[in-house]
């Protein structure tokens, strides 16, 4: 075990398992760079940490830049290691976006993992650019009016060697992607949808179930873009066929954050998902 | 150590600092262009491109990322450097505190420049002085030679085992960055033996630690207390390193302050940076007329040399502090420090605020203010508008 149990994560939080699975693949010669996020708290304090690999904590907007520097120093020392940024959606797509885009454009030799719980959860559920349409947060009390920022697509448009989406419910798929990314060099990006029981308002026992439904309804397609080549992975391969996808309602109805959605909102979400799959089918 | 005669070159300030950086051999640099620093970045890019400086120069997308990336590199064991000015230094501010709080050896050059708004690309010290609480050692050069010397010394001071703090070397934008002067540079081998290989590294796979995690209050305040002690310890180390540098360069390095005709002076000008040269001229002119005036130049602003300032000024009849940065609602920043130094001593301290946004200040301005001071006609604070 590379990431110890008994850490400060909330009940039902997928982050410790996601981190452990990552480190099972990347091994002890990994450096984690962690900007302000839930993981800052989960990582313990000055008295001790659950990680068995070095961790460098980062100011909110700075993790891609810090990782670029760590990589450069390790190269100068001739040390082989995987430098990983482990960041939430706000630290990735909002405040950290400039440094992320800069590092991607420079094709820095780092693996960036965004664990996306779709809001500022560590500060108590505030809307981010990656909060989906219609979701309640404390700063969108009547639901978010805008759609989710399509981050994997934006990173892929930087022309980086590897971009993938993943889910805690499909652990083998996730670990395969980490393995593939580890063997490559240059800027690699994995975007993990990470259901958050207190933030999404669901029972802590349902984390994996909800992660699974996100994939099965087609809301969260599993894919990878390797050197520009797009490929659906795991169960998502068969979901191009609309009939194989579950209605989005099955995913939405389990979460308190969507409880005030109107019929037309659900219809809009379903239409957006269907449109996304038409686009994916053409990639 | 043996004094070996250096090589004389004609260099603008930005190129002199770049030359010092090349000789200090950092492994990782990250610099973002900003006037008046940019020609330093261009020179460093040439050095790296030609292989004269074997380092990675990260062409970052902002100053925030410039300091963040060399922070990461410094934590992982590399000697590092960045340079900036003005808005760039403000944009770096979050990471300045980040690096200072973690006490990571870093060297940054600041080509001082006014702050917007309104826009000005010209010199003053508002950028540099606004960073006085970021847990960085701050030194400031008077001329191109001193900018070169302090840059070499900064690497040694920053990495010294009794210090371990980031160091900021300020030098006046345009007035020094773009002015060509005679500079005596050291031989590479002399610099090599002056700056030992870097030992600092926090990334060890056999003993993994968390760098900069959450600190409970008792740990947090303890770390700040340790930083305060390191700052205080650094005074002695800086003076020792200056002396050692004096030996290898054959050039006087003075201490945290430089006294120019101030020992027997009744009235003393206190200044920092390039306009200390103008103050020298004013002092010399008045001395020729028999006035007992002198100059005390502050070379190291953080840690502030309270003892030296007090010892030189305690018996003066009046002090004229030249302020190129101002704390609005309070006063001239350097003047305030001088007043603190003289607490309990009955020495009137006057502040001459000038040079903001590049406003030209000449020896005559300083001479007039000194004359007014001697005649008892100088206000406590005067602005040169």
Over the stretch B225-235, which tens digit does the pLDDT of each residue have?
A: 999 999 999 99
Query: How does pLDDT run across B294-317, given as a tens digit for each residue?
Result: 999 999 999 999 999 999 999 999
**Closest residue of A to B71, CA-based?**
A66
Judge: A62–B208 Cβ closer than 8 Å, yes or no: no
Q: Give the CA radius of gyration of chain B.
A: 20
Please list every residue in chain B whose beta carbon sits closer than 8 Å to the beta carbon of residue A59. 68, 94-95, 98
In a domain, A8, yes or no: no
Tell whether A107 is within 8 A of chain B (Cβ). Answer: no
Q: Considering Cα of A143, then A144, then A147, then A152, what sign does the dihedral take?
A: negative
Report the domain count for chain A: 1
Please list every residue in chain A whose beta carbon sits closer than 8 Å to the beta carbon of residue B61. 98-99, 101-102, 105
**pTM passes above 0.90:** yes
Tell whether A32 is within 8 A of chain B (Cβ). Answer: no
Q: Are B26 and B201 in contact (CB under 8 A)?
A: no
How far apart are alpha carbons B293 and B290 in whole angstroms?
9
CA B276 distance to own-chain centroid: 14
User: Do you find a cis peptide bond into A23, omega within 30 degrees of 0?
Assistant: no
Judge: A73–B27 Cβ closer than 8 Å, yes or no: yes
Residue A124 region by backbone torsions, left for phi larger than 0, else alpha for psi between -120 and 50, else beta: left
CA A228 distance to own-chain centroid: 20
Pairing of strands B318-323, B267-271: parallel
How far apart are alpha carbons B188 and B47 in whole angstroms?
14
**Closest residue of B to A81, CA-based?**
B205
How far apart are alpha carbons B355 and A81 in whole angstroms?
50
Tell whether A165 is within 8 A of chain B (Cβ). Answer: no
In a domain, A1, yes or no: no
Q: How far is CA A170 from CA A165, A184, B37, in A?
A: 11, 22, 51
Whether the pLDDT of residue B2 is over 80: the answer is: no
Please list every residue in chain A whose beta carbon sits closer than 8 Å to the beta carbon of residue B78. 69, 72-73, 76-77
**Closest residue of A to B222, CA-based?**
A46
Judge: B78–A76 Cβ closer than 8 Å, yes or no: yes
Phi, psi (deg, nearest 5) at residue A96: -90, 5
Please list every residue in chain B whose beta carbon sits closer than 8 Å to the beta carbon of residue A43. 210, 213-214
Residue A72: which of B56, B203, B208 has the nearest Cβ?
A: B56
In a domain, A124, yes or no: yes
Judge: B73–A31 Cβ closer than 8 Å, yes or no: no
How far apart are alpha carbons A234 and B247 in whole angstroms?
70
Q: What average pLDDT does this structure show over B74-98?
A: 98
Please list every residue in chain B whose beta carbon sits closer than 8 Å to the beta carbon of residue A45. 213-216, 219
Site from A34, A36, A65 to mutate, B interface, most B CB atoms within 10 angstroms: A65
Tell whether A158 is within 8 A of chain B (Cβ). Answer: no
Mind listing the pLDDT tens digit of every residue in chain A (283 residues)?
Answer: 889 888 999 999 999 999 999 999 999 999 999 999 999 999 999 999 999 999 999 999 999 999 999 999 999 999 999 999 999 999 999 999 999 999 999 999 999 999 999 999 999 999 999 999 999 999 999 999 999 999 999 999 999 999 999 999 999 999 999 999 999 999 999 999 999 999 999 999 999 999 999 999 999 999 999 999 999 999 999 999 999 999 999 999 999 999 999 999 999 999 999 999 999 999 9
Domains of chain B (ranges, CATH numbers): 7-249 (3.40.50.970), 257-383 (3.40.50.920)
Tell whether A33 is within 8 A of chain B (Cβ). Answer: yes
Residue A69: which of B72, B98, B219 has the nearest Cβ?
A: B72
Query: How does pLDDT run across B106-155, given as a tens digit for each residue?
Result: 999 999 999 999 999 999 999 999 999 999 999 999 999 999 999 999 99
Which pLDDT score, from 0 to 100, does residue A103 have?
Answer: 98
Residues in CB range of B376: below 8 A, 6 or more apart: none
How far apart are alpha carbons B65 and A100 in whole angstroms?
10
Give a three-class secondary structure readout of B112-129: ECCCCCCCCCCCCCHHHH
Residue B209: which of A40, A45, A54 has the nearest Cβ?
A: A54
Reported ipTM: the value is: 0.97
Give how far B26 is from chain A: nearest CA, Å.
Answer: 10
Q: Considering Cα of B301, then B305, then B310, then B316, what sign does the dihedral take?
A: negative
Please list every residue in chain A whose beta carbon sits closer than 8 Å to the beta carbon of residue B213. 40, 43-46, 49, 55, 57
Reported confidence tier of residue B87, pLDDT bands at 50, 70, 90: very high
Judge: A57–B64 Cβ closer than 8 Å, yes or no: no
In a domain, A88, yes or no: yes
Give how far B369 is from chain A: nearest CA, Å.
Answer: 46
Reported confidence tier of residue B3, pLDDT bands at 50, 70, 90: low
Q: What average pLDDT does this structure show over B50-60?
A: 98
CATH number at residue A255: 3.40.50.970
Q: What average pLDDT does this structure show over B350-370?
A: 98
Give how far A158 is from chain B: nearest CA, Å.
Answer: 14
Reported confidence tier of residue B5, pLDDT bands at 50, 70, 90: confident
In a domain, A9, yes or no: no
In a domain, A97, yes or no: yes
Give how far A74 is from chain B: nearest CA, Å.
Answer: 7
In a domain, A67, yes or no: yes
Q: What average pLDDT does this structure show over B207-231?
A: 98
Give how far B304 is from chain A: nearest CA, Å.
Answer: 28
Q: What average pLDDT does this structure show over B28-49?
A: 98
A60 CB burial (10 A radius; 0-12, 13-18, 19+): middle
Whether the pLDDT of residue B1 is over 80: the answer is: no
Residue B58: which of A43, A51, A69 has the nearest Cβ?
A: A69
Phi, psi (deg, nearest 5) at residue B271: -150, 170
Tell whether A27 is within 8 A of chain B (Cβ). Answer: no
Please list every residue in chain A whose beta carbon sits closer than 8 Å to the beta carbon of residue B101. none
Q: How far is CA A112 from CA A164, A198, B188, B318, in A?
A: 10, 25, 40, 60
**Closest residue of B to A47, CA-based?**
B215
Note down the domain range covering A62.
15-281
Which pLDDT score, from 0 to 100, does residue A5 have?
Answer: 86
Average pLDDT, whole number, for chain B? 97
Tokens of A121: 């959860």
In a domain, A48, yes or no: yes
Please list every residue in chain A whose beta carbon sits closer than 8 Å to the beta carbon of residue B95. 59, 62
In the A/B pair of chains, how many CB contacts fall below 8 A? 166
Give how far A228 is from chain B: nearest CA, Å.
Answer: 24
Tell whether A77 is within 8 A of chain B (Cβ). Answer: yes
Tell whether A233 is within 8 A of chain B (Cβ). Answer: no
Q: How far is CA A110 from CA A66, A79, A84, A185, in A?
A: 11, 14, 6, 7
Residue A61: which of B64, B77, B214 has the nearest Cβ?
A: B64
Judge: A76–B212 Cβ closer than 8 Å, yes or no: no
What share of chain B has pLDDT > 90, as a percent? 98
How far apart are alpha carbons B212 and B230 in whole angstroms?
18
Give how far A91 is from chain B: nearest CA, Å.
Answer: 14
Tell whether A85 is within 8 A of chain B (Cβ). Answer: no
Q: Are B321 and B282 in contact (CB under 8 A)?
A: no
Which pLDDT score, from 0 to 100, does residue A6 have?
Answer: 86
């Amino acid at each position: 075990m590379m990431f110890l149990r008994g850490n400060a994560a909330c009940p039902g939080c997928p982050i410790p398992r996601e981190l452990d699975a990552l480190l099972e693949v990347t091994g002890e010669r990994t450096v984690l760079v962690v900007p302000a996020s839930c993981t800052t708290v989960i990582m313990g304090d000055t008295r001790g940490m659950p990680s068995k690999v070095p961790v460098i904590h980062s100011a909110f907007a700075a993790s891609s830049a810090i990782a670029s520097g760590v990589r450069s120093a390790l190269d100068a020392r001739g040390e082989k290691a995987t430098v990983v940024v482990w960041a939430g959606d706000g630290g990735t797509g909002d405040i950290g976006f400039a440094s992320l885009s800069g590092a991607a454009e420079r094709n820095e030799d780092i693996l960036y993992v965004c664990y996306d719980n779709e809001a500022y959860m560590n500060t108590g559920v505030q809307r981010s650019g990656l909060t989906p349409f219609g979701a309640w947060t404390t700063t969108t009390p009547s639901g978010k009016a805008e759609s989710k920022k399509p981050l994997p697509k934006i990173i892929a448009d930087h022309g980086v060697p590897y971009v993938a989406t993943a889910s805690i419910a499909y652990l083998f798929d996730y670990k395969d992607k980490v393995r593939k990314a580890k063997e490559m060099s240059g800027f690699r990006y994995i975007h993990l949808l990470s259901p958050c029981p207190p933030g999404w308002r669901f029972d802590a026992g349902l984390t994996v179930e909800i992660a699974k439904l996100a994939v099965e309804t087609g809301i969260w397609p599993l894919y990878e873009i390797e050197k520009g080549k797009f490929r659906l992975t795991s169960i998502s391969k068969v979901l191009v066929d609309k009939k194989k996808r579950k209605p989005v309602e099955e995913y939405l109805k389990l979460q308190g954050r969507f409880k005030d959605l109107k019929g037309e909102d659900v219809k809009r979400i379903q239409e957006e998902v269907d449109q996304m799959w038409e686009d994916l089918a053409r990639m | 150590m043996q004094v070996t005669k250096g090589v004389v070159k004609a260099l603008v300030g930005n190129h002199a600092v770049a030359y010092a950086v090349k000789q200090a051999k950092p492994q990782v640099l990250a610099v973002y262009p900003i006037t008046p620093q940019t020609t330093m970045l261009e020179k460093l890019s040439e050095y790296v491109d030609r292989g004269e400086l074997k380092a990675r120069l990260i062409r970052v997308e902002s100053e925030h990322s410039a300091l963040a990336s060399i922070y990461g590199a410094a934590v992982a064991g590399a000697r590092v450097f960045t340079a900036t000015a003005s808005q760039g230094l403000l944009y770096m501010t979050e990471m300045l505190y980040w690096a200072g709080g973690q006490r990571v050896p870093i060297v940054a050059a600041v080509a001082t420049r006014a702050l917007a708004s309104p826009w000005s690309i010209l010199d003053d010290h508002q950028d540099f002085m606004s960073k006085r609480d970021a847990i960085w050692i701050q030194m400031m050069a008077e001329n191109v030679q001193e900018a070169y010397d302090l840059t070499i010394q900064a690497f040694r001071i920053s990495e010294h085992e009794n210090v371990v703090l980031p160091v900021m070397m300020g030098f006046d934008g345009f007035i020094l960055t773009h002015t060509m002067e005679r500079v005596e540079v050291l031989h590479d081998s002399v610099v090599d033996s002056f700056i030992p290989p870097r030992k600092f590294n926090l990334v060890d796979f056999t003993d993994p630690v968390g760098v900069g995690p959450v600190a409970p209050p008792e740990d947090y305040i303890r770390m700040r207390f340790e930083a305060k002690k390191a700052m205080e310890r650094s005074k002695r180390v800086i003076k020792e390193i200056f002396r050692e540098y004096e030996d290898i360069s054959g050039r006087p390095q003075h201490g945290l302050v430089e006294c120019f005709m101030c020992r027997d002076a009744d009235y003393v000008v206190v200044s920092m940076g390039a306009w200390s040269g103008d103050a020298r001229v004013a002092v010399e002119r008045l001395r020729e007329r028999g006035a007992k005036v002198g100059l005390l130049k502050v070379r190291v602003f953080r840690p502030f040399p309270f003892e030296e300032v007090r010892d030189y000024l305690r018996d003066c009849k009046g002090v004229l502090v030249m302020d190129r940065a101002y704390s609005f609602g309070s006063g001239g920043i350097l003047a305030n420090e001088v007043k603190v130094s003289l607490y309990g001593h009955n020495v009137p301290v006057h502040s001459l605020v000038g040079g903001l946004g590049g406003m030209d200040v000449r020896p005559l301005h300083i001479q007039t203010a000194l004359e007014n001071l001697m005649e008892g006609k100088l206000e406590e604070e005067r602005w040169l508008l």
